[in-house]
Amino acid sequence: MTEIILFGGTAEGRELAGFLGKNNINSIVSVVSSYGGSLVSDYPSLKVRTGILPEEDMRQLFKTEMPDLIIDATHPYAASISSTIKTVSTDMSIDTISIYREGSSSEGYICFDSLDEMISYLNTRGKGKTIYSTLGAKASDGLSKIHDYEKRVFTRILPLEKSLHMAIEAGLSPGNITCMQGPFSEELNEAMFRHTGAEILLTKDSGKAGGFPEKVKAAEKLGMEVLILRRPETNPGITVEEAEDLILKRVRDK
């Protein structure tokens, strides 16, 4: 019997997966990519499933496994999957908790509610400037709407075939694409920004776990302009530590 289904190839998801494994709690860890699955610690009590999980497939998984608890530790910007998890678990009366990743202060930076707004700004106020995007591969189509993007847009994405394909299909220059797994140190960020001659940094508010402080410190050191894509509005959730305490209490009370 599966006690917990954990969603998330995030740092928080991996931390919770390790916690579940160490406590011998039968669980399924659901991640999108095989690469994400390879980062999950190996424990006898953990099963890792990979791939996108549409709503009907999620319903079937929950029906088959009948978990006591669902944990949503997906990325703060993965609003669609979080919404699906909430809908399905509510419909099936399965307890669910969401993991909250603390954000960073955006004071002093220019923030946008959507990628389209950010691109519009770049095409008016950022003309001719070299841009370094850490928004991820899914932003590739949007980046291709920037004037002269082939020459002046650099992007850093996950080292996945699918991610690289998205960037190439969008028309981004192969020589301007870096495929690496973060988070990165301030020094490495600075070296990358300096090497490309970047003048503008595009980033999400990925919080400390996502390496946000190191990115903006490096950008500030080089005098770069920092543009932030705000997080989607979601329910706040609880911390990893609070989730671990809750899980242990549920196990003891069974």
DSSP-assigned letters across all residues of 99-124 = BPPP----TTSEEESSHHHHHHHHHH
Confidence at residue 46, expressed as pLDDT on a 0 to 100 scale: 93
The arithmetic mean of pLDDT across residues 131-152, rounded, is 96
Confidence at residue 199, expressed as pLDDT on a 0 to 100 scale: 97
The answer to which of 6-20, 142-156, 160-174 has the lowest mean pLDDT is 6-20
Confidence at residue 251, expressed as pLDDT on a 0 to 100 scale: 79
Confidence at residue 232, expressed as pLDDT on a 0 to 100 scale: 76
Measure the CA–CA gap between 33 and 210, rounded to whole angstroms: 18
Confidence at residue 217, expressed as pLDDT on a 0 to 100 scale: 95
Query: Mean pLDDT of all residues in the chain?
Result: 91
The arithmetic mean of pLDDT across residues 134-156, rounded, is 96
Q: What percent of the chain has pLDDT over 70?
A: 97
Q: What are the tokens at 70?
A: 């669902």
For the chain, give the longest Cα–Cα distance. Answer: 62
Measure the CA–CA gap between 145 and 170, rounded to whole angstroms: 9
- Using 50, 70 and 90 to split pLDDT, how confident is the model at 205? confident
The answer to which of 89-93, 99-103, 162-166, 210-214 has the lowest mean pLDDT is 99-103
Model confidence over 40-96: pLDDT tens digits? 888 999 999 998 899 999 999 999 999 999 999 988 777 788 899 999 999 999 999
Q: At 199, phi and psi to the nearest 5?
A: -115, -20
Model confidence over 56-72: pLDDT tens digits? 999 999 999 999 999 99
